[in-house]
Amino acid sequence: MSDGDTGLLVQVVARAYRPHGSLKQLPVTVEAEGVFCQLGAVPRLRWSTCTRRMLVTRVGLVCIGSGPQRSSRVGIRPFWLPATGNMDRCVALHLPTRWILNGKVAPPDPRGRLQIATPTTRAHLSRLAKSGRALRLAQGVYVVDATLPPEALARHYALAIAALVWPGAVLCDRSAFSGPVPVNGWLFVCHPDPSRHADLILPGIVISPRVGPGKLPGDIPLPDGLFQAGTARSLVENVSRPGRPPVERPARQAGTDAVEDRIDDLARTGGAGRIRNVLGELDVIAGSFDPRAVDLVRRRLAAVLGTASEDAPLSGRLRARLAGQPYDEHRIQLITALVETLEHTAPEAVPALGPAQRWEWLPFFEAYFSNFIEGTEFGVEEARRIAVEGFVPATRPADAHDISATYRLVSDPVLSSRTPATADELLDMLRDHHAILMAARPDKRPGLFKHIPNYAGGYQFVPPELLEGTLRRGFTSLDVLTDPFQRATAVMFLVTECHPFDDGNGRIARAFSNAELSAGGQVRIVIPTVYRNNYLAALTGLSNQAGTGQSLISVLKFAQRWTAMIDWSSFETARELLTSTNAFIDPSLAEATGQRLTLPH
């Protein structure tokens, strides 16, 4: 093998067809990095195979013929050439950078091999680069036999390159927060005695060194002998520094507000115990850093534990926590994005016109479908007897109460159109509505916010300790919305995403949403059974950041349009129209048979 390569243990299988049998032996050779290696001889049979094991780095040509002949390379992918003519003609198999295991050819590693030029290899690597086999990422830094783009190779080998240039370096500053993932294309490292002080510019990535402490207690080991700054160190290193901001490059520090946000995250995920641990870690490493930055971090950590601080944090999240109202920043971002989308959506008024009799049976069907979506399923006739006539089936009294209580919330002239004006009113009204809805289910803690986390299909809603703060801050963000439909959409998502109760959250969210519409004189929104999956998919998509609410807006607009076109003046008329528009069809059956919610003719 050439250049002292350690190589890979592979199995090479060579096979040749001969038109006539003979006792003559055929030697089999392999070229690895330009060196021919004899594998052995193959009996001259009609179909001949040879299997040997050898240590190679790169398999080049497998030749079957009379001696170690160099055959012209015949393409990129491996294939057999038929042997023809006399015995001295050879069969060649081109295998560039492939492993052959158990007779199967595995694809080459598209990332190639990283090599740093040394005095003995510099000329060789330069020749490989000129021939196209090697890619030069930076001065003295090459990747051999790679097929990925230069930017992808730089991302993959960034840490390995940093470790070769600055052995034992620590990912610091912004990179302490983000880890090995570059921040806007920059990776920040520090070293007590860097061999190179200038930035190392790679395709798509810049590795920026500075003089700083090496590994300290709490730092996290990374591959290739690097380290990532520990929790306390990352907080101190990212405190804002005085001076002018850098030009044409990001600041090394994430900033004091980002540090305070990270402290809020630590308090949320680890509680007081985690904060105490970070304080202890800070005491150990404090002597290695600017005392002013250390003091600011210590004061913020102590404030979370209850120690009064003279100055207020810059971070709104940490201020809210210290005021006893922590909130879920991720959910606030989702709600803010939805509000911005709604602001840029042209309002389309759908007024509830006509005499009151036209809408007489809307509340019943709204309550019926709202419960059906949540799994409380009755036939529509039985549900009418429960909601309107007060019938209680002996076998399902709690389910019957769900129907009748929802009907009361959406049919009462006051409850169905009352909207909160402040965050305090929102919290009070949520509790009051839930107490009515869940009165027959004491195990669901009627009127009380959740005290344990709740989930849907593995998706966790706002944690209990962040619930009130998120509801308050989220409701405040709706102040810019004045159109009833826009507010209805935003309120529905806010309550749904917070999921404030142990049960009944969907029904409460839809009731609050429709109250915004009724207060603005607009048609309420009914989500029929057949439309359930469309509605839930739109909510789930927004929760998972698949867009910023466009799908939810479209789903609710169509449902409102459909609701406005139904004649709700009598039970029979409404039921006939609902049937004709597929409203009662199970959504799974509808999807399987291609049936959809349609508008009435």
DSSP conformation letters of 280-320:
HHHHHHGGGS-HHHHHHHHHHHHHHTT---SS--S-HHHHH
Which of 279, 301, 326 corresponds to the end of one domain?
326
Does 69 reside within a domain?
A: yes
Tokens of 552: 């939810």
pLDDT for residue 357 = 94
> What span, in angstroms and rounded, lies between the C-alpha atoms of 387 and 107?
67
Does 49 reside within a domain?
A: yes
pLDDT for residue 534 = 96
> What span, in angstroms and rounded, lies between the C-alpha atoms of 335 and 317?
16
Residue 245 DSSP one-character state: P
pLDDT for residue 15 = 37
Amino acid at 129: A
DSSP per-residue string spanning 24-65 = -EEEEEEEETTEEEEEEEEE--SEEEEEEEEEESSEEEEEES
**Residues 296 and 307 both lie in one domain:** yes
**Residues 577 and 563 both lie in one domain:** yes
**Residues 386 and 527 both lie in one domain:** yes
Taking a C-beta distance cutoff of 8 angstroms, is the pair 514, 524 a contact?
Answer: yes
Inter-CA distances, 169 with 140, 208, 285, Å = 19, 11, 17
**Residues 223 and 247 both lie in one domain:** no
Which of 105, 124, 159 corresponds to the end of one domain?
105
Does 165 reside within a domain?
A: yes
**Residues 369 and 412 both lie in one domain:** yes
* Backbone dihedral angles phi then psi of residue 283, each to the nearest 5 degrees: -60, -35
Amino acid at 297: V
pLDDT for residue 33 = 35
Q: What is the pLDDT of residues 210-245, one digit of tens each?
A: 999 999 999 999 999 999 999 999 999 999 998 888
Q: What is the pLDDT of residues 427-445, one digit of tens each?
A: 999 999 999 999 999 999 9
**Residues 320 and 443 both lie in one domain:** no
Angle at CA 161, nearest 5°, toward 160 and 167? 80
Band (pLDDT 50/70/90 cuts) for residue 82 is very low
Higher pLDDT, 243 or 300: 300
Residue numbers of the domain that contains 247: 230-326
Does 24 reside within a domain?
A: yes
Nearest to 28 by CA among 17, 46, 12, 47: 12
- The arrangement of strands across the sheet holding 113-116 comes to 113-116, 141-144, 134-138
In the chain, the number of structural domains is 4
Higher pLDDT, 118 or 35: 118
Does 600 reside within a domain?
A: no
**Residues 234 and 223 both lie in one domain:** no
> For residue 458, is pLDDT > 60?
yes
**Residues 356 and 469 both lie in one domain:** yes
**Residues 428 and 566 both lie in one domain:** yes
Rounded mean pLDDT of 497-504? 96
Inter-CA distances, 279 with 107, 135, 282, Å = 50, 47, 5
- The arrangement of strands across the sheet holding 220-221 comes to 200-202, 205-211, 186-191, 170-171, 227-228, 220-221
Higher pLDDT, 56 or 303: 303
Question: Residue 350: which CATH number?
Answer: 1.10.3290.10
**Residues 371 and 490 both lie in one domain:** yes
Query: Which strand (E) or helix (H) includes residue 455?
Result: strand 455-456
> What span, in angstroms and rounded, lies between the C-alpha atoms of 166 and 207?
11
pTM recorded for the entire structure: 0.69
Burial call 38-63: b when 16+ CB within 10 Å, e when fewer = ebeebebeeebebbeebebbbbbbbb
Q: Give the mean pLDDT of the chain.
A: 84
pLDDT for residue 107 = 60
Does 161 reside within a domain?
A: yes
**Residues 414 and 513 both lie in one domain:** yes
**3-class SS string, 208-266:** EEEECCCCCCCCEECHHHCEECCHHHHHHHCCCCCCCCCCCCCCCCCCHHHHHHHHHHH
Tokens of 580: 């004709």
Does 487 reside within a domain?
A: yes
Tell me the sheet residues that pair with 351: 522
Cα of first residue to Cα of last residue in the chain, in angstroms, is 81
> For residue 61, is pLDDT > 90?
no
Residue 183 DSSP one-character state: B
Higher pLDDT, 547 or 76: 547
pLDDT for residue 310 = 79
**Residues 270 and 136 both lie in one domain:** no
pLDDT for residue 308 = 79
Rounded mean pLDDT of 347-356? 94
Residues 6+ apart with CB under 8 A from 480: 339, 343
> What span, in angstroms and rounded, lies between the C-alpha atoms of 133 and 429?
70
Which of 202, 229, 256 corresponds to the end of one domain?
229
Does 39 reside within a domain?
A: yes
Give the rounded distance of the alpha carbon of 86 from its chain centre: 63
pLDDT for residue 87 = 30
Tokens of 121: 């290899």
